[in-house]
Every structure is written in structure tokens, then in C-alpha cells.
Structure 1
Amino acid sequence: MSPLFNLESIYVANIIGIVLIVVLIICNLWRLQSKTPANKNLVLMMFFALTSCIADPISYTMKGIPGLMPKIAVYATSTWLFAANMLAVLCWVRFLGYYLNGSITRKHKIALNTIIVAGVTVLIVNLFHPIVFSIDENNLYERKSFYFFFTVIDYLLVINSLFTYYRSKQRGGVLKFFPIWVYIVPIIAGGIIQSLFYGISVIPTSIAISIAGILASLQNEMIYRDALTGVFNRTYLDYQLKKFAKRPKLKITGIMLDLNDFKRINDEQGHSVGDEALIATTRILQKGVGSLGSVVRYAGDEFILLINTQDDEQIKARIEKILYLFEKYNADNEKKYTLSASIGYHKLDLKNENIDTFINTIDSRMYENKKAFYATHKVMDRRKR
């Protein structure tokens, strides 16, 4: 029986995917060395895409060749392709959650894990009772009824990423943005084409193209990112404040934080430990702010949080959560230093003040809090005037 696919076109499509992923890895080694949760999920996406581009042509090559080893190869590679495609989309959802909000809620993790466990369970069942695909005596592949179960899973995860984005956008307003179409359009297009036309293999390459779009978007954003911590920098703050000036009705609150006794950490334990403390601080602030706003490294150990609310209860809740996370970090980590911060906040009111007044106000309120801290702690106030 002649195969219902063109092996040469499958080789070409997957070789393009492999080359694209390898180039992306080489050009982004500096980024991928950063062990942030978002970057870890990017690395996993690349791994799943690369291995899929390798497994796909192997699977098609072995189809129709009689013998036990070709049959095992077709089963193994086909099973991996279903799993890898599903896990790649999962990593996209996780990447988006960490990138936009700094963390993923426990309920969200449980929901995602439930979907993945269901998919893996079906693949295991398929090894003993073909319900997703079968391999006949001629080692030819045939789709079964549960093939579209994985199509549903993949699209459920894509829809979940849309929900994650728009929920974050709804809460964070102008402070939250990512061009999610650069991932979703290639994935949806590839999924539709491959589902409708058996013998056309484009999903692994579509994932590679989506990853390229993500990395290109991140590269464009680098001008707004702090090199050490990965959070936004002062250039981003200036950019947003200029936007706020054109939209005076925005309900934005600024929270300034300055680490207490940070100079002592640098002086006594070295700048590498100081850098570690700054990175830990940004993780705390990202979790504290969540989907409601953005974290900006303003200068040295000073940070400004922009949150999309002027509700007193929500502001206080965010500050209390940040203070709790500092305490939890100190209790959970056996470090030679402790982290704490002086905090001041102010609601932006561009009808009655300008941007300079806004910054000066949160700085002054933070400094008042810092004076109170140093009044009760026997350490040197480096901002004493």
C-alpha cells in the first residue's frame, strides 16, 4: 500500500523547524541562562518543539515498514508527539502567567495539571487499547476516536492562555501587555491544517515559529527591562508616565520601596550576594503585585510598583502581602541577611499634579517610613540628610 503522505515534504518542514529552534537557542543563550520561571518554561517549549521535529520524520519514515522495531518506533514517536504538543502549549500558558503576573495561582496550577494528567492517562491507555491511534500489521498509522480528544486539550489550553491574558489585562489595564497572537496564530493554523489533512506535518514547525515570535517580542521589550532582575526599568517607568499624562482619568497608584540596610549586605557580603538579594526582592514584589500591576527597578535598591487601582483596601492588601512575603522569605531561607523594605505610596492625580510631583510624593512618604525604621534599628541610614 502506498503511503498517504509525502516523506520529502515532511523532512523539509521538520528540518526547517530544527534549524529555527537551534538558531533561536544560539541567539538567546544569554536569556535562557536566567533561571526565572518564565524562562524555564521557554526552554521547555524549545525542548518539546525540537524533539517533536526530530520524532515526526522518524515516525513517518517507519510507517509501512514491517517488523517489530519499526512498530515500536512508530508507537514511541507518535505517543511522544501527542504528549510533546500538549506539554508545549502547557508551557506557553505557564510562561504567560509568570511573565504577566509573576506567579500562577494554586487553583490554576491544579486545573492545568488535571488536564495534563488526563492527556497522559489516555496515552498510556492507548498503548494497551488503541483509542487515540492504532498501528496495523503493516505498521500503518490510523487515527481513532480519541485523536480529537488531544485537539480539544490543546485548544482548551490555548483558550486558557487567552483567559489568563485578558484577566490580567482587565485587572492591570495599561500596565499589562503581551502580543499573544504571535504564539496563538501559528499554533491554531498548524493545528487546523494537520487535523484536516492527514499526511501534512506542520504542528512541530508551527510551535517553533510561535517560539520565534515570543522571543522576537521579548527582544523588542529589552529596552524596558532591567538587566539584573528582569523587571521593568526606569525607561519603562518614563514611558508609562508619559502615557498616563495623556489619560488623566486612569486610576493608578504608585508604591515606592527601598530595601532597609542594603548597603550593609553589599559591604559585608559582597555585591554577588547583594545581587541575589535584589533578585529575590523582585520575585517577592512580582508575587505581591500579581496581575494588578508592574514592578519597576527605579534605582539601585529602590523599586516603584504601579498598580491599576486607587482602592484603599486593595492598596493596603498588596502592601501587607509584600510585607508578609518578605517575612516568609526570611523564615524559609537560611541567609546571612534579612530582607525588609520601607514603603510609601500615593494615588496618581494628574488633574492636580504633574509627574514630578507624583514621584516626589511617593519618595517622601517612603523616606518617612524609612526614618521610622532607622529610629528603631541600630543601622546606618544611608539617606540621612
Structure 2
Amino acid sequence: MSKPNVLVITQHQDSVEELKTIFAREYQPLSANNGVDGVAISRLARPAVIVIERDLPTFQAAGVCKSLLANEDARSIPVLVLAETENVDGELSAFANVKGVIQRPFQAKQVMSKIQSVLSNAPTPAGKSATRPAMKRDEPIKVLSVDDSSVVRKLVTMILTAEGFKVSTASDGLDGVNKAKEIRPDIILLDFVMPKMNGFQVCRILQKDEKLRQIPVILVTSKGDKVGDKFVDQLGVTGYITKPFQPEELVSKIHQTLEGLSSPAESSAPAAAPQAAPTPARAPEKAAQIEAASSVIPVKETAHQDMAPAVAGGDLDHRVKELVKAEVDALMGTLEKQIEKLVIEKLNEYIRRAKKKE
């Protein structure tokens, strides 16, 4: 059984380390050193509890609480405030999601008791069940994410780890094939355009390997049904999901694929029969046409094209800018203007750093 996430938002690294030690046995600790990162992580990882510094700089604790309340998925997350006093007053005390205080100096028993208390009283988000029915299994689901974008890999890891999956990543197609042979994942999330070996080539190799051909593959692509349908029809790919996607879409798609379900609402592509082995040669002449077409598709496009903010570079084409705008809107839609601007600036910073490393 996976551990619930607890997100600690504080600028004090010593507090982070101390709380991680306290939480480690029963919870999966996450951390952010500012409110901007904290809100972004809460949107993606949906922690069971958020522990926040009262005197948080830049984007203060009150602003974070307000932003959480503005989001349907985050408003039910209980918040505990880190402080030197037993109680909080002023604006913070008025927020419905603030459930109490963790007082310094920390005492492990009191901290754990406080966390358990707020969890036992935490409401289920409106319109959602407390837990999602899942396959019975002794081990966590192993997911291999193959994508040349470090941002995408980090987001996928964050989303799926929060849901109890065991996530491994690969930065290109060749690395992905090697990782698949090494760890034998339960499912593979595969990008289409990558360096060294693109998604099409990876699929062909997987299909030729008797030990790997049974692993379901979900194509993760910004090209939608233009590429997705062809892969499903010709290469035995189980299905696809289009970037940008919401965290719950990705989690649901994986569960449905592994449980052998078909969900027309989430993907126009029919899922492969759960027990049927892929057949790479169902239509050789069409497969050959796709392979020929893939040879003219650039193996590597602009790095991090699917996640880069719209202002990241003048050389990005119109399609990428549109995609980026949709991604930012989806992630930041309910946040107030101040934090939205700060988060976009931070995304720009991440992209610039990633480009310098190439």
C-alpha cells in the first residue's frame, strides 16, 4: 500500500529535514521552499496534508491557502501551519482549509498525532470517491516513462508517485528500450519524437522481443489522433494520451489500460484487447508507409517543446506556442494573477537552464 504524501512548504531546510525524518515511516514527504512551487506541487501531486511556514516569504502562507481554496481538487486538502506559537491569528485563521498548528520545536509524537488527526477528519473532494478501485496486486505498478523532456519526466514522476506507482524514466528511445529490458515495467509511457530512437522505432523493437511485446504501451504525444490512431492500428500500441493532459487523465488512462477497460470519453482510440498479444505485421504495407513517413520526421525537435512557457524562445513555432499556452492555462487556470506570473517565470527559468545543458 502506498504512503500518503505530506507536502512541507518552508524556506528553512533544517525544518524540512527534521520533518522528513518524522514523516518517513508512515508518509511520503514532499517539499517546496516557496509558495509558488508549493501551489504547483499541490496541484500536481495532490498531497494528503500540506504543512506550511507561517512567515513564508515571496508568496505568503495566506496567499497559498487562498489559491488552494480556489482549486476544486486542492480545496479539501487540510493545511497545518508551522509556527512558534500554539495558535495562528489574523488572516490565516480565517481560511477554512487551515486546520491547526505544528509548533516549534518539533516533537515527533505531537507532529504525527496532528497529521493523523487532520487526515481522519479530512473530507472527500466533491464528486470523487475516497479511493479509486484498483487491481489487486502485491507490488506497486511499475511505469516506465520514456520522454526526452526532463520537465515531462519530472511531472509524470511526481503525478504517478503520488498515486502509488513505481516510476522509472528514460531520456531517449534507446535508453527506453534498455530500461524496459532491465526492469520489465507493467506499462510504458512513450513519447513520439525523441533523439537517438523515436517512438515508432521503439515500438518496432518492443514488438520483436518476445519478453517485451506483451507490455502495454501508451503513446504520449502532442500530435493527437494524427499519430495516435496509426500507432494503435498498425503497431499494437494499446492507446494514447494527448499533451497537455491533466494528472487525473494520466492516472485513469493507466488504470483503464491495465484493467483491460476501454474509455471512449478519454481517448478516441480503441484500447487493445487486454489478453491479446500485439501483432506488428497485421498490415505490412501500411506499417511500411508509416515507417517511411517516420524517416522524414525530425528525430529531435526543440527541447522541452511540450512544456516550455510561451515566452521561452522566439524560434518556437506557432504549434508549440499554442500547446504551451494550453498547458500553462490548464496548470494555472485557478491561481491568482500574482502567483500565476511567478510560476510562469519559474517555468521559463527551468527551460532556459535545460537548454543550456544541451
User: Is the TM value for this pair above 0.5?
Assistant: no
Higher relative contact order (CA 8 A, sep 6+): 1
TM-score (norm 1): 0.27
More strand by share: 2
Highest CA radius of gyration, 1 or 2?
Answer: 1
More helix by share: 1
TM-score (norm 2): 0.28
